[in-house]
Amino acid sequence: MNKREAILETAVSLFAEKGYNQTSMQEIADGVGISKGSLYSFFTSKEELMISIYEHYQQLVFERVFIIGLDEDLPPLQKLEKQFTVQFEGILEYKAYMKMHMRGEAATNSKKISAMEHRMRGRLFSWLEKSLVSLYGEELSAYKWDMLFMIQSIYRTYMMLMVSGKAKISPAKIGKHIVRQLEAMAIDFIRGNSHPILDEEMMKDFVVEMDKEGVFISFEKREQAWKTFYTKLKDLEKSEASSLKEIANRISEETRKSRPEMVVIKGLFALLKENGEIAAAAKVLENEILSE
């Protein structure tokens, strides 16, 4: 078994349970069943261990949302609902990690860790913002910020409930529920029953801070590869594209699993590469995925 991953898993569950500062490297080593010295041969510091945790899990939890976002056939509301659903599926799967992240306590120790946590929160924000804009466009601008903050807070609350294990709720139900809340809010604003209290001026600093971290613009390499691939796919004629997209979706599904089967992924990519026009993009994407 991969020792590095065993360390990450143990560390995550200890950090989630007792907190970053309250967990010693010795405890982590004991938990994995190795010595402190060995632990330090994998991660040169506690900080690096924490950063590796973020690098390892962040992608796993958020990529699936991004990929659904690329699917242009789904109507916006349904797409958002599906995104929330897979998001909550991810949360359920990586409970301990989300719990650790939600404590947000490690951030106080290190600039780097703080930047990662901040960035992760920013990602959620950025995604929600894009979704809101694509749903309501111009009409939205006046109450965009209030909706962003309110929906994000509701999202976080259900996430918290899920992670704490107190309520066993199906991801699909929460997805539906949150989207309905979003709609109800939007309607109330549009009808003029609700009035926004946040505005562009107030949020100026906030936007600057987000931009500084690059959350509104940057993409991970892997996500970029997906994007390029889907763009290529769109250029193909309909009939051909849809079957290829099904294959691509199956790949994305496989990568989401905690223990993806490499053979399956390779096989699916082999199918994709049979089409000359997208072979190159598929190759790039494959490398990006298999390099993990």
Partner DNA sequence: TTTCACCCCGACTTAATAGTCATTTTGAAG
Partner DNA sequence: CTTCAAAATGACTATTAAGTCGGGGTGAAA
Q: Measured between alpha carbons, how far is 242 from 72 in angstroms, rounded to an integer? A: 12
Q: Are 29 and 36 in contact (CB under 8 A)?
A: yes
Size of the site for a copy of itself (CB under 8 A): 40
The distance of closest approach from Cβ of residue 42 to a copy of itself in the complex, given in angstroms and rounded to an integer, is 25
Backbone phi, psi, residue 98, to 5°: -65, -40
Positions in 183-242 near a copy of itself (CB under 8 A): 184-185, 188, 193-195, 197-198, 202-203, 205-206
Interface with a copy of itself includes 141 (CB under 8 A)?
A: no
Of the candidate residues 31, 40, 146, 183, the single one contacting DNA (CB under 7 A): 40
The distance of closest approach from Cβ of residue 30 to a copy of itself in the complex, given in angstroms and rounded to an integer, is 20
The distance of closest approach from Cβ of residue 21 to DNA in the complex, given in angstroms and rounded to an integer, is 7
Interface with DNA includes 75 (CB under 7 A)?
A: no
* Length, in residues, of the chain: 292
| CA-angle at 33, arms to 29 and 37, nearest 5° | 45
Of the candidate residues 4, 17, 19, 41, the single one contacting DNA (CB under 7 A): 41
- 3-class DSSP assignment, residue 35: coil
79-84 LR contacts (CB < 8 Å, sep 24+): 80/131, 80/135, 80/179, 80/182, 81/175, 81/176, 81/179, 82/175, 83/127, 83/131, 83/175, 84/155, 84/171, 84/174, 84/175, 84/178, 84/179
If the CB atoms of residues 29 and 151 are measured against DNA, the closer one turns out to be 29
DSSP 136-187: HGGGGGGGHHHHHHHHHHHHHHHHHHHHHTSS---HHHHHHHHHHHHHHHHH
Binding span for DNA by CB under 7 A among 44-52, 177-185, 231-239, 241-249:
44-52
If the CB atoms of residues 41 and 134 are measured against DNA, the closer one turns out to be 41
Binding span for DNA by CB under 7 A among 33-41, 131-139, 161-169, 248-256:
33-41
Interface with a copy of itself includes 174 (CB under 8 A)?
A: yes
Contact residues for 219 (Cβ-Cβ < 8 A; gap 6+): 227
- Binding at 26: pick from DNA, a copy of itself, none (beta carbon under 5-8 Å per type): DNA
The distance of closest approach from Cβ of residue 257 to a copy of itself in the complex, given in angstroms and rounded to an integer, is 26
CA dihedral 204, 207, 213, 214 (to 10 degrees): -130
Interface with DNA includes 161 (CB under 7 A)?
A: no
Q: Are 135 and 77 in contact (CB under 8 A)?
A: yes
Which residues contact a copy of itself (rule: CB under 8 A)? 18-19, 21-22, 103, 105, 108-109, 146, 149-150, 152-154, 156-158, 161, 166-169, 173-174, 176-177, 180-181, 184-185, 188, 193-195, 197-198, 202-203, 205-206
Residues lying near DNA in the complex (CB under 7 A) are found at: 3, 22-26, 34-38, 40-41, 44-47
